[in-house]
């Protein structure tokens, strides 16, 4: 595997460093009760576990389906908070821009005014007043206080009202799962699952769907909209991926996490402070990304990206990382121990994310410039302490074509149908010029034993003339496998897909053929997939569940993955999730997710533990679509 560089693994072993691969083996065998979901720790009388032929219920009497449904709801709630917290930070930044309290600027005024029109607030004149009006409407999705079961007509999340398909809103209204306030919904979920509260698995599962909707609109959609306004809507860009983007004679700063507020400033100030780095005998400053913070810079500025969640430790093992600057999510605590074995500065920046052994430089949108400069200065000082004998930078790097926002996709298809670009995409699907679209999303998982599930599944889909969209760590996987290049179209795409991509490229007067895997962005940018599907459904007057579009999270690893998966299910998009969710301890819950859900949301979960089985199941579902 290129992402687990053998030289770096050997170097880590020689230096007696513990990596996730070692710790995963130390955890074997993993607890079967936890894996099947029948372990409950929601009170102090337990932990309780369901043991066949011995213990059929917990101490309080909770049965397997109740325990599993509670656990699933809690997991989804936790994942949802990751995205809603993310969105809130961006909304508050927009508000502070309107109040002239920060040096951040609005990069996409058009998108801001369009949102204002949808929200029916001021969209004309002074941009600060427009920003204030939009930010305040967004904040309503965090503070609206109508009770969950006493909703007024239309009193639900603003971002659902302006973004979600109307028929889905009606369905969710009938199911009584329309979210009112994202913080209240997640708080309610944790209360609902404590001892002595909801024990009805059906009600708990419906609440899980409510959290999926909350995640999709108050988390994903809201965060993407705010970030496009603040930093610009992505368009086609080219850069490099993998650990080979680190440079030997440069001050290497790795920005890692998910919220791009600070990383944008670091990238800005790195250019301004290049001379300072040269005085320290470096050739300059090299900012590279890790995980979704890196993707945000890649999508908008073409900043190279070093890797995904399973490569963060190896980035330090190279000995060339002068600083690793982290914000939130997917950050291994092990980085503190590893950084202390080198000259590397691990720098935390968010008050509620601290790591033993790390330096903490507080970040806020008001002090962003000061924090960025201090981080760069610390990185330059660290560079001076490098040990040349410890440096080993892999040669691997892959070309990446990225920036496939919905706006870019519509621009591409406007060359076929200027008035209704997405109708051209629908016609492409309807006439079987390509067989379907699959969004391959999500994390990389240590459970897969370094099996390249993302890459193998993607290649099988491409061979079967299916266009692949990618986000998050899955996008890293495709990028590093060389699947986001013009050459990949020639090498991996089926004949129909190849002809389609060449035709679309020719119509757009592109110098090179479009890649067969379209990089749509970070984790929160799964909203771009949702938006694309929603607009495609609207323009074609075809219900989402009837479109030949599937989602796959082939290496799900975090609670966020579950929340995103549930969101797609609520939209009516059948979703493949692997490794399987911890629900196998109840046939009732398994049947609900894989069969019965189709009667509620017109979607289901596909269970498939190999790329071949996943591809076969996905293609079967696509082929049955009647549109």
Say which CATH number the domain at 379 has.
3.40.50.2030
User: Is 251 within a domain?
Assistant: yes
Burial 219-257 (b: 16+ CB within 10 A, else e): bbbbbbbbbbbbbbbbebbebbbbbbbbbeebbbbbbbb
* Residue 47, preceding peptide bond in cis (omega within 30° of 0): yes
Instruction: Return the structure tokens found at 199.
Output: 């024990």
Angle between helices 64-98 and 127-143 (to 10 degrees): 160
Tell me, yes or no, whether 362 and 316 share the same domain.
yes
Q: What is the pLDDT of residue 519?
A: 98
Could you tell me if 538 and 452 lie in one domain?
Answer: yes
489 plus 469 within the same structural domain: yes
Alpha carbon of residue 492 to chain centroid: 25
How far, CA to CA in Å, does 499 sit from each of 495, 506, 621, 624? 6, 10, 24, 24
Displacement of CA 220 from its chain's centroid (Å): 8
Do 457 and 478 lie in one domain? The reply is yes
Q: Kindly provide the b/e burial profile for residues 398-416, where b requires at least 16 CB atoms within 10 angstroms of the residue's own CB.
A: bbbbbbbbbbbbbebbbbb
**Alpha carbons 285 and 425: distance in angstroms, whole number:** 42
Q: What residues contact 607, with CB distance under 8 A and at least 6 apart?
A: 576, 577, 578, 580, 594
Residues 178 and 56 in one domain: yes
Give the chain's domain count: 3
Within 8 A by CB and 6+ apart from 415, the residues are 504, 507, 508
Please indicate, yes or no, if residue 401 is contained in any of the structural domains. no
CATH number for the domain harbouring residue 222: 1.20.1270.30
In 3-state terms, what secondary structure has residue 603?
coil
Distance CA(581)–CA(562), nearest Å, equals: 8
Q: Does 2 reside within a domain?
A: no
**50, 56 Cβ separation under 8 angstroms:** yes
- DSSP code for 513: P
Q: What is the dihedral of CA 455, 456, 457, 458, to 10 degrees?
A: 50
- 3-class state of residue 304 by DSSP: coil
Neighbours of 199 (CB within 10 A): 17
Q: For residue 211, which of 259, 177, 242 has the smallest C-alpha distance?
A: 177
The pairing of beta strand 251-257 with beta strand 323-326:
parallel
Co-location of 520 and 498 in the same domain: yes
Residue 110, in any domain of the structure: yes
The pLDDT assigned to 150 comes to 47
**Cut 0.85: pTM above it:** yes
Tokens of 627: 């549109």
Q: Examine the fold and report which residue of 177, 203, 231 is the final residue of a domain before the chain moves on.
A: 231
Q: Is residue 20, in this structure, part of any structural domain at all?
A: no
Residue 405 lies inside a defined structural domain of this protein: no
In a domain, 8, yes or no: no
Q: What angle do CA 251, 252, 253 make, to 5 degrees?
A: 115
Classified as helix, coil or strand, 488 is helix
Q: Same structural domain for residues 219 and 196?
A: yes
Distance, CA of 491 to chain centre: 28
Looking at the fold, whether 65 and 192 belong to one and the same domain comes out as yes
365 belongs to a structural domain: yes
Q: Which domain-ending residue is among 344, 361, 390?
A: 390
600 vs 569: CA distance, rounded Å:
10
Same domain, 338 and 441: no
pLDDT of residue 154: 60
Both 610 and 499 in one domain: the answer is yes
How distant, in Å, are the alpha carbons of 327, 469, 554, 601 from that of 532? Answer: 29, 11, 21, 19
Spell out, as residue ranges, where the chain has pLDDT lower than 70: 1-3, 146-154
Whole-number pLDDT of residue 424 = 97
d(CA 467, CA 433): 11
Whether 112 and 46 map to the same domain: the answer is: yes
Q: What is the pLDDT of residue 450?
A: 72
| Containing structural domain, residue 50 | 36-231
pLDDT the model gives residue 1: 47
What residues are paired with 285 via a beta bridge? 251
Residues 417, 453 within the same domain: yes
Domain boundary among 206, 231, 256: 231
Burial class, 284, CB count within 10 angstroms (exposed 0-12 / middle 13-18 / buried 19+): middle
**Which tokens in the block code for residue 295?**
């993707």
| Per-residue pLDDT, 627 | 84
């Amino acid at each position: 595997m290129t992402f687990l560089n053998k030289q770096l693994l050997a170097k880590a072993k020689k230096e007696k460093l513990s990596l996730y691969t070692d710790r995963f083996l130390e955890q074997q065998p993993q607890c079967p009760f936890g894996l099947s979901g029948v372990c409950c720790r929601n009170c102090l009388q337990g932990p309780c576990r369901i043991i066949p032929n011995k213990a059929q219920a917990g101490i309080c009497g909770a049965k397997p389906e109740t325990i599993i449904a509670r656990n699933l709801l809690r997991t989804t709630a936790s994942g949802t908070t990751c995205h809603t917290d993310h969105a809130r930070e961006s909304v508050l930044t927009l508000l502070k821009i309107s109040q002239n309290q920060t040096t951040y600027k609005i990069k996409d005024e058009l998108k801001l005014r369009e949102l204002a029109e949808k929200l029916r607030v001021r969209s004309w004149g002074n941009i600060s007043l427009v920003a204030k009006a939009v930010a305040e409407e967004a904040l309503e999705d965090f503070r609206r206080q109508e009770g969950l079961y006493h909703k007024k007509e239309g009193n639900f999340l603003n971002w659902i009202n302006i973004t979600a398909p109307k028929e889905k809103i009606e369905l969710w209204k009938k199911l009584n799962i329309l979210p009112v306030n994202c913080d209240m919904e997640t708080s309610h979920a944790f209360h609902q699952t404590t001892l002595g509260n909801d024990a009805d698995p059906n009600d708990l599962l419906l609440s899980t769907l409510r959290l999926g909707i909350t995640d999709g609109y108050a988390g994903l959609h809201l965060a993407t909209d705010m970030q496009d306004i603040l930093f610009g809507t992505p368009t086609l860009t080219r850069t490099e991926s993998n650990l080979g983007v680190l440079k030997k004679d440069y001050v290497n700063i790795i920005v890692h996490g998910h919220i791009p507020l600070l990383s944008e400033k670091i990238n800005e100030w790195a250019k301004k402070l290049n001379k300072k780095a040269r005085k320290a005998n470096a050739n300059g400053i090299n900012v590279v990304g890790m995980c979704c913070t890196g993707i945000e810079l890649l999508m908008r500025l073409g900043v190279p990206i070093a890797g995904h969640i399973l490569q963060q430790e190896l980035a330090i093992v190279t000995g060339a990382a002068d600083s690793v600057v982290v914000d939130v999510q997917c950050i291994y605590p092990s980085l503190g121990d590893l950084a202390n074995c080198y000259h590397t500065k691990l720098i935390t920046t968010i008050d509620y994310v601290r790591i033993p052994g790390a330096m903490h430089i507080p970040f806020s949108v008001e002090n962003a410039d000061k924090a960025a400069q201090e981080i760069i200065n610390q990185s330059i000082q660290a560079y001076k302490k490098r040990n040349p004998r410890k440096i080993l930078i892999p040669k691997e790097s892959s070309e990446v074509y990225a920036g496939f926002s919905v706006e870019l996709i519509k621009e591409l298809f406007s060359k076929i149908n200027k008035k209704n670009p997405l109708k051209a995409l629908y016609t492409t699907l309807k006439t079987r010029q390509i067989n379907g679209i699959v969004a391959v999303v999500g994390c990389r998982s240590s459970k897969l034993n370094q099996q390249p599930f993302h890459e193998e599944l993607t290649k099988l889909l491409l061979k079967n003339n299916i266009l692949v969209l990618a986000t998050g760590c899955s996008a890293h996987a495709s990028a590093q496998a060389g699947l986001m290049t013009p050459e990949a179209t020639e090498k991996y795409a089926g004949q129909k897909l190849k002809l389609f991509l060449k035709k679309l490229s020719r119509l757009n007067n592109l110098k090179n053929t479009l890649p067969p895997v379209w990089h749509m962005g970070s984790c929160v940018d799964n909203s771009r997939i949702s938006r694309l599907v929603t607009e495609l459904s609207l323009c074609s007057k075809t219900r989402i569940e009837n479109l030949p579009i599937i989602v796959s999270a082939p290496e799900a690893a975090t609670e966020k993955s579950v929340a995103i998966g549930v969101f797609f299910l609520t939209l009516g998009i059948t979703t493949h999730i692997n490794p399987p969710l911890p629900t196998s301890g109840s046939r009732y819950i398994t049947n609900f997710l894989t069969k019965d859900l189709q009667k509620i949301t017109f979607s289901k979960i596909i269970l498939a533990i190999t790329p071949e089985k996943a591809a076969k199941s996905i293609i079967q579902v696509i082929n049955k679509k009647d549109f």
